[in-house]
Amino acid sequence: MADSRSSGGLAGKLTPSSSNSRAPVLVVDDDAELRDALRELLEENGYDVYCAENGREALELLKRVDPPPGLILLDLVMPVMSGQEMLVALKQVHALAAIPVTIVSASEDPPPGEDFLHKPLDVDALLGIVEKACGS
């Protein structure tokens, strides 16, 4: 289920757990272990994190979160709604189209025009991308 941590529901607006000057990050991945590991890594580095397990949950979450994420880390291959389908949906909503997206996937064929990190992840590269998009 999508939420600001990794468990719980989508009741009302979701807010990050702290009030720092960095924009939150949205992690969208169906692999719960990776999603939790990314959340922990980002939180340890001072970022607030929203999580969703597929594109549909992420889009629902984006309607409820405040503040919006400064970056979406998006897996491509997921059930319910793939990363490719979510990218199309994001571009159709003006307020969401401006949010930067970095594809995080084992795929050898990333979509054109998107930043891409190959799994397994290079932590330094990931943190550099997040800092650029969400840093204070």
CA atoms of 35 and 33, how far apart (whole Å): 5
pLDDT band, residue 14 (cuts 50/70/90)? low
> CA-to-CA distance for 40 and 43, rounded, in angstroms?
5
Note the pLDDT tens digit of each residue in 23-66: 999 999 999 999 999 999 999 999 999 999 999 999 999 999 98
- Specify the pTM: 0.85
- pLDDT reported for residue 23: 93
Range 110-121 average pLDDT: 84
Number of H-type helices and E-type strands within the chain = 5, 5
CB burial string 76-95: b at 16+ within 10 A, e below: bebeebbbbbbbebbeeeee
Give the start-to-end residue ranges of the domains of the chain.
25-134
- Other C-beta atoms closer than 10 Å to the C-beta of 32 total 12
**Structural fold of domain 25-134:** Rossmann fold (3.40.50)
Q: What is the pLDDT of residue 20?
A: 67
